[in-house]
Chain A
Amino acid sequence: MHAFAIWLKGTDLSWLVTHHGWVWATCEALHFIGMSILFGCIGALDVRMLGWWKSPPVAGVNALVRWGVFGFLINLVTGAVFFIGEPLQYVDNPAFRFKMLFLVLAGWNVLLFYVTGVADRIESLEPDDDAPISAKVFAGTSLFLWVGVMFFGRMLPFLGNSF
């Protein structure tokens, strides 16, 4: 992995990213925007299932998830830009590893949510209906994991080395 990072650092693409100052700053701004969209939309669904916001039908909130995916894609792209630009800053960074771990776990959580059929069960909930316990578990885990991703993202300069 480390060798890959060194190789990546030597590529033209990597040089391009770091050479133009505006690239990094713009991607940072976009990364935060994508995070907000993602957290807002996915958080909305989680909060609905946890019962902290009961007024809409779940199907309505579900329609926001596609926008959450949109936010996630923005962050995937900008995150890739960061990694390409300064791979050595991330590859040995424990905060980065935890962030990726939490990200993968969040993905697992979503997958299980659909595969176990809980997603289908909550689809038809009307306003003020309570979600089943299984859905609440998924929702709580989702919130915890995404906040964790945010936390370790914030810790990157502090737990890492060469920022």
Chain B
Amino acid sequence: MGIRGSSQPQMREPESEPAIERAIDETIRRYFMRHEPSPRVYARAISTAQQPSAAGRDGSTLRSWIVAAASATAALLLVNIALHFFGVVAARAASDIDGRTGPFLLWLSSTGLARWINESETVFGYSGILFLHTLGLAMAVGASVVVDLRMLGAASRISVAALLPVFRFMWIGFILNALSGAMLFAADAPRKAANPLFEFKLVLIAVGIAVMAMMERSLLKSGSGAALVGSERRLTNLAITSLVIWTAAIAAGRLVAYTL
């Protein structure tokens, strides 16, 4: 057969028909030979038989509790906000000095801890805790953004199973912010507590965490970290919701400083 091999890409002579057919077959064959599933995929596919219904991993019970607590808090705060707006608490609040000064909040703001946070001039005082709060926010929202972007189709070479460890960073950021946030609250309790926007921010954060926890469970439940089964649209929706919620939470957080 008159097959012409071309060593110079520039010079091209029309190939014969059998050569074309062979080229097509060869191209497809090479493409398939270049890609083989890795042993890991085989192992995971086999292990689906050993783990019929995938259980969550160790930390998931703790996380479920956190989500439950966050949701309960969110519900309570929502009720509180509703009461604000419907004027039920308005009459009582009018007679308070400096916002809601119930006994607990007065006590909290007078503790040694609160005074130290407020008065400390060093970097470990209020400014330092504020920095940790910002760092935690960057970690939690940053990790969420990575997961959400992947769920929406970006960086598709990250397999869905590889995404699971990212949630750990989100949880670390959340815990860091819960602790630093508590200390910041303690330093300024009465005014913060009276600010409905602050409560709204906490509600948004609770919802945001719940959404991320739902996404994490969805990914875990699909069987030994394998791909999504029947839940792509749900995860896409959750991803979009998550982005919206975090944006709103950040906006609320910034506005708290303006409405104090």
Contacts and interface: CB of A to CB of B under 8 A. Distances in A.
Given a CB threshold of 8 Å, the question of whether A touches B is answered with: yes
A64 B142 contact: no
A112 interface: no
A41 interface: yes
B130 to A, nearest CB: 6
Interface string B136-161: 01110111111001000011111101
Contacts of A37: 142, 145
Contact of B246 (A36, A38, A56): A36
A56 B163 CA distance: 8
B254 interface: yes
A63 interface: yes
Which size bracket describes the interface of B in this complex? Answer: 35 or more
B138 A59 contact: no
A79 interface: no
Interface of B: 40, 123, 127, 130-131, 134-135, 137-139, 141-146, 149, 154-159, 161-166, 169, 246-247, 250-251, 253-255, 258
Given A32-B134, A63-B154, A155-B127, 9 more contacts: A25-B255, A29-B250, A29-B255, A36-B138, A36-B145, A37-B145, A43-B138, A59-B157, A61-B158
Q: Which of B138, B141, B247 has the most CB of A within 10 A?
A: B138
Consensus secondary structure, chain A interface: helix
What 8 A-B pairs have minimum CB-CB distances, sorted nearest first? A40-B142, A60-B157, A55-B162, A36-B141, A60-B158, A63-B155, A56-B162, A39-B138
Contacts of A147: 135
A44 B131 contact: no
Contact of B137 (A32, A56, A153): A32
Contacts, number: 105
Interface of A: 21, 25, 28-29, 32-33, 35-41, 43-44, 47, 53, 55-57, 59-61, 63-64, 67, 127, 147, 150-151, 153-155, 158
Contact of A36 (B130, B137, B162): B137
A35 B146 CA distance: 13
A154 B127 contact: yes
A60 B155 contact: yes
A18 B145 CA distance: 31
Nearest to B125: A158
A25 B258 contact: yes
B135 A56 contact: no
A20 to B, nearest CB: 13
- Name, among A28, A56, A67, the residue most crowded by chain B CB atoms within 10 Å (CB to CB): A56
B149 A67 contact: yes
Contacts of A38: 142
Given A33-B247, A36-B250, A150-B134, A67 B158 contact: no
Contacts of B40: 127
B138 A40 contact: yes
B159 A154 contact: no
Contacts of B130: 154
26 contacts: A25-B254, A29-B250, A29-B255, A32-B253, A33-B246, A33-B250, A35-B138, A36-B145, A37-B145, A39-B142, A41-B142, A43-B139, A43-B169, A56-B159, A57-B158, A60-B155, A60-B157, A64-B154, A64-B155, A127-B40, A127-B162, A150-B131, A150-B138, A154-B130, A154-B134, A155-B131
